[in-house]
Each structure stands twice: as structure tokens, then as C-alpha cells.
Chain A
Amino acid sequence: MFSDEIRTIQKLGVRYVVLQVLNFTQVIISGLMIWKALGIVTNTESPIVVVLSGSMEPAFYRGDLLFLMNPRNTPYVVGDITVYKVPGADIPIVHRVIETHTVGPLPTDQSLLTKGDNNRLDDLELYKGLRWLQRKNIIGKVHGFLPYVGYVTIAMNDFPQLKYALLGFLGLMALIQRES
């Protein structure tokens, strides 16, 4: 099946294959570096997230892409759409802040309550025993929006075969693609 490709690789020699592998790793590493640099600039562990549930419809649908920021000294205000993760939960949740209570001396010492626009009740049930959300539970505030793009990742999670097929294909292309 891949006899042609294998022959190509043999013809090109080891040095060329090593170079291509290095190129491929460089692409992956620079992607990772950009991601981490974005994380430092925006002060959040994940500056871009994909919407996974319909609880913020009709504002956000499954598969929409959100851009987050979490400035260190800026308090959250009601109406902000935040992404948060409480201890014990596996996935982050995108919901709107509906109550803020500034309990400490700093303006950022806040107890928060959130709710999905499309949900009837507030999020108390989702907090896994917490009474209020704290700032440390919040990943960031939504500043930008790009529709549909994130659906690729949802599709890859729902059908893992797709993920492996895509990765394998990209890897193979990177190895056998010849610069013209």
C-alpha cells in the first residue's frame, strides 16, 4: 500500500528523514510555545476554550470558540461570562456571573455566583459542595468569540478514530512531503 512512499524514503536517505522529523517536532513545539506564551500574557491556564454544552444558548452553542483573559488585579463584575472549574469536576463550565460579594479587603476577594443563560436555576448544584465560587476557581473571562471552529475538537473527542487518522495522516505527510 505504501510501497511507493517507502521507496521514496529509501531514495531520500536517513539524513533527509531525520530533517523532516526535526521539522515536524519544531512545528509541534512552536505550537506549544505559542499556547503557553498566550497563557502567560492572559494569566490563564487555557486562553482558548471550546463550548461543550448548550447552557449558554442562544449566546454560545456547542463547538464555538472562546478567548479568555484573567487580569490578576481586576475584580469580576456581574454580567461577565466566565469559565470556571471547581475541584472534583473534570470539565470547565462557561457561565455568567449573577452575584458578586466582596468579602475581603481587596477588591478581588470575591464570592461569586454563576448561572447559564439557558438554565432555570443558578449553579449552586454544580459547585460540588462549595457555597460560593472563589476567584481561584475561575479560569478567565470571555473576551472574544469565533463560532463553529471548535467543533473539530468535539468531533475528535466523540470519534477518537478520527483523531488518530488525522494525526497519522499529518505525520505521514510531514515525512514524505518533499520541498520543491
Chain B
Amino acid sequence: MHSLYQRANGLTGLLSSCLIGLLALVALTSFLFPAHPKGDVNIKTLKVRWGQIDRHPAQEWAFVQFDLQTDLESLFHWNTKQLFVYLVAEYTGSKGVANEVVLWDRIAKIKYVFRDFNKTFRNASAVELSVRYNVMPYVGVLTSGEVGRTSKERFPALQTQG
């Protein structure tokens, strides 16, 4: 004979075992996707200035401008929540201290989707991309502008998956 308690216990036990099994499968399949991320980074300028920033004592500060091109698409699969992409400076100081310092980071995740109001891009006009910014002041008026624009590109025909 099974009491209500035993039935509830058996059911929740079975359900949580199934859930754990499923999660383990998802976690393990992550290793099946081939990852071949590519990238290219170059230093444009490297400057050293003396001064005082925020809460730090007065000292020297280095400033780097860099160009970065990456293709990280292969890292995105069904178990990728986000990427933390970061730029690291490596050097050895005058007293032999080996340093690694993060200079810049970007969290890459699928944030926006691109779809048409009528569910299809067929017969749509060519598309243009533009880079715009918003200035958020500590106090006062918000301003905005545009800094770049691509040429027009036609939407290709629908591709089948693969």
C-alpha cells in the first residue's frame, strides 16, 4: 500500500533525477561544439602621463589605444550564456615583478534580435547600419549623435540551416 506521502516522495524524486540527468547532458554536450575563435589586436598609441586619478595617489599612468577585430561566433552554442572578453597587458616591472593587468572588457551576449515587422525580409529595402551614442551627464541635458554609417547592403535570400 502506498500513502500519499510515499507517492509524493516518489514523484518528486523521479522528477528531480530526470532534471539532474538532463542538466548533466546539456553540460556535457558543450564539449561537442568545435571552438575556433579568431582575433587580431594592434596597439595604435601607447602614452605615459603623470597625475592623480580617483582615490589613487599621484603616480604615472599608461594609456593605450588599440584596434581589435574578433570572430567569436563559434563560441556561441546552446549552453553559452555569455562571453567575458578582455584585453590584458603583460609586462615585467623594473624590479622584476611580473604583471598582468586587464585594460578593457566587454560582456558579449545575444542582447538584441533583428526581425521584420511582417515576419519576412523578402522585398525589403537594402539595410544600413549606423553607430550612435548617448551622452549621460552627471547633471543636466542628455545629448546624442552619430559617428559612423555603413553602405547599403541588400538582404540575401533565405538560407536553409546548416
| Alpha-carbon separation in the docked complex, A16 to B86 (Å) | 62
Interface of B is mostly: strand
Verify if B102 is at the interface (C-beta below 8 Å from A).
Answer: yes
| Alpha-carbon separation in the docked complex, A103 to B95 (Å) | 9
Interface size of A by Cβ–Cβ distance < 8 Å? Answer: 17
Question: Contact at B82–A58, with CB atoms within 8 Å?
Answer: yes
Verify if B109 is at the interface (C-beta below 8 Å from A).
Answer: yes
| Alpha-carbon separation in the docked complex, A133 to B105 (Å) | 21
Residues of B within 8 A of A121 (CB): 54
Given the interface contacts A58-B107, A117-B107, does A77 sit within 8 Å of B84 by beta carbon?
A: no
Residues of B within 8 A of A100 (CB): 99-101
**A76-91 interface mask toward B, CB cutoff 8 Å, 1 = contact, 0 = none?**
0111000000000000
Question: Contact at B82–A59, with CB atoms within 8 Å?
Answer: yes
CB of B60 to closest CB in A, whole Å: 15
Question: Contact at B55–A124, with CB atoms within 8 Å?
Answer: yes
Question: Contact at B84–A59, with CB atoms within 8 Å?
Answer: yes
Verify if B81 is at the interface (C-beta below 8 Å from A).
Answer: yes
CB of B78 to closest CB in A, whole Å: 15
Interface size of B by Cβ–Cβ distance < 8 Å? Answer: 18
In B42-67, the 8 Å CB interface with A consists of 54-55
- The interface centre, meaning the residue of B23, B54, B102 with most chain A CB atoms within 10 A of its CB, is B102
- For residue A125, which residue of chain B has the nearest CB? B55
In B75-116, the 8 Å CB interface with A consists of 81-82, 84, 86, 88, 93, 97-102, 105, 107, 109
A-B contact pairs, 14 of them (CB 8 A): A58-B107, A59-B81, A59-B84, A77-B100, A78-B86, A78-B88, A78-B101, A79-B88, A96-B84, A100-B99, A101-B98, A101-B99, A102-B99, A146-B23
Given A99-B102, A146-B23, output 8 extra A-B contacts at Cβ < 8 Å: A58-B82, A78-B101, A78-B102, A79-B88, A79-B102, A101-B99, A117-B84, A124-B55
